Amino acid sequence: MVTLTLLQALTDGMKTAMRKDESVLVFGEDVGKRGGVFLTTEGLQEEFSKQRCFDTPLSEDGIVGAAIGMAMNGMRPVAEIQFQDFIFPAFDQIVSEAAKLRYRSGGQYTCPLVIRTPYGGGIRGGLYHSQSGEAYFCHTPGLKVVIPSTPHDAKGLLIAAIEDPDPVLFLEPKALYRSVKGEVPEEHYTVDLSTLREVQSGSDVTVFCYGAMVPIVTKAANRAEENGIKTCVVDLRTLLPLDEEGVLEFAKKTGRVVVVHEAPRFCGFGAEISALIAENAIEYMEAPIARVTGFDTPFPNTLEHHYMPDDRRVLDAIEHVFNY
């Protein structure tokens, strides 16, 4: 085991996959010599050459389109979009081409493609460098959407995504890149996609979260514990496909549920969690499901700390459903 930041674990995951399989390529804007805007790909070009880690033009649709072609022809591309906010020029390539390739070809072709991109706030990036667009892509059959929150999961989920036969959108919470550390196995390992993780056990309230919200929710759960409320914290990890049975199991366990994400509230991923529980476990609920989210506005710059959920807002929701 080694102790790594989340960013270092991602780098290690790419290196591990590239050492094991020569068909794995990494490319995107400034990912080569510079190592990416956050230095996530630092050292890859030196170890694996310019043929396997290279820079591309500033063209997101070109990056993803080229990756689809490579994936159809025996390669396993890992394409980086510098910020998730810039992924939308490639939206059609992702949802209309990559995600539908297996279906439209009757299973003759698969698209083993990973699109890595940092998402979310926490670095004062303003409205064009802080968006959380996971819900757009979770509406797309054929696509997988993965969000790690720990260094261990970051490496294991990334390797699993690279080895998966279908396209995976791998969203990286940039607020956690260097702010969290943890033990990571040095060898090759995977974390199964479509599996959630119990971060903290509790019998009174269940809080579902993912990405950068996991440490915030954990902090709120610890504050709730001081007030006698035992809170179960669940990290979803893979939003699509979702571990629906796991969600229902943890919801039934306490009968009180809070869902937390930093994306806007309206049609956010928390709505799907709420609907899933309402449709399948309403008889177990002791209180309405509460959502703690970003606001239905563009992501602000100077008011970032008000926009993003914090442990105070999460604690208020926990106490509300507990005392309902």
Same domain for 208 and 121, yes or no, is no
Same domain for 82 and 215, yes or no, is no
Same domain for 249 and 277, yes or no, is yes
Examine the residue annotation and report whether 129 is marked as an active-site residue of this protein: yes
Same domain for 102 and 220, yes or no, is no
Task: Please say whether the beta carbons of 267 and 138 come within 8 A.
Answer: no
Verdict on whether the full-model pTM lies above 0.85:
yes
Same domain for 236 and 300, yes or no, is yes
Answer yes or no: is 230 within a domain: yes
Selecting among 129, 152, 261, 305, the annotated active-site residue is 129
Residue-by-residue pLDDT tens, the chain, 324 positions: 999 999 999 999 999 999 999 999 999 999 999 999 999 999 999 999 999 999 999 999 999 999 999 999 999 999 999 999 999 999 999 999 999 999 999 999 999 999 999 999 988 888 999 999 999 999 999 999 999 999 999 999 999 999 999 999 999 999 999 999 999 999 999 999 999 999 999 999 999 999 999 999 999 999 999 999 999 999 999 999 999 999 999 999 999 999 999 999 999 999 999 999 999 999 999 999 999 999 999 999 889 999 999 999 999 999 999 999
Instruction: Please state whether 179 falls in left (phi above 0), alpha (psi between -120 and 50) or beta.
Output: alpha
What CA–CA distances, in Å, run from 148 to 112, 117, 121, 192, 228? 19, 12, 15, 12, 29
Residue 275 structural domain? 197-323
Same domain for 33 and 158, yes or no, is yes
Q: How many CB atoms lie within 10 A of CB 15?
A: 18
For tokens 């008000």, the residue is: 306
Distance of alpha carbon 282 from alpha carbon 261, whole angstroms = 22
Same domain for 12 and 36, yes or no, is yes
What CA–CA distances, in Å, run from 243 to 17, 177, 193, 196, 263? 25, 25, 9, 6, 20
What CA–CA distances, in Å, run from 3 to 87, 185, 187, 297? 31, 9, 13, 38
The pLDDT assigned to 301 comes to 87
The pLDDT assigned to 302 comes to 87
Number of domains forming the structure of the chain: 2
Q: Is 303 exposed, middle or buried (0-12, 13-18, 19+ CB in 10 A)?
A: exposed
Same domain for 169 and 204, yes or no, is no
Same domain for 225 and 164, yes or no, is no
The number of residues making up the chain comes to 324
Of 131, 152, 184, the one marking the end of a domain is: 184
Same domain for 39 and 89, yes or no, is yes
Of 184, 216, 238, the one marking the end of a domain is: 184
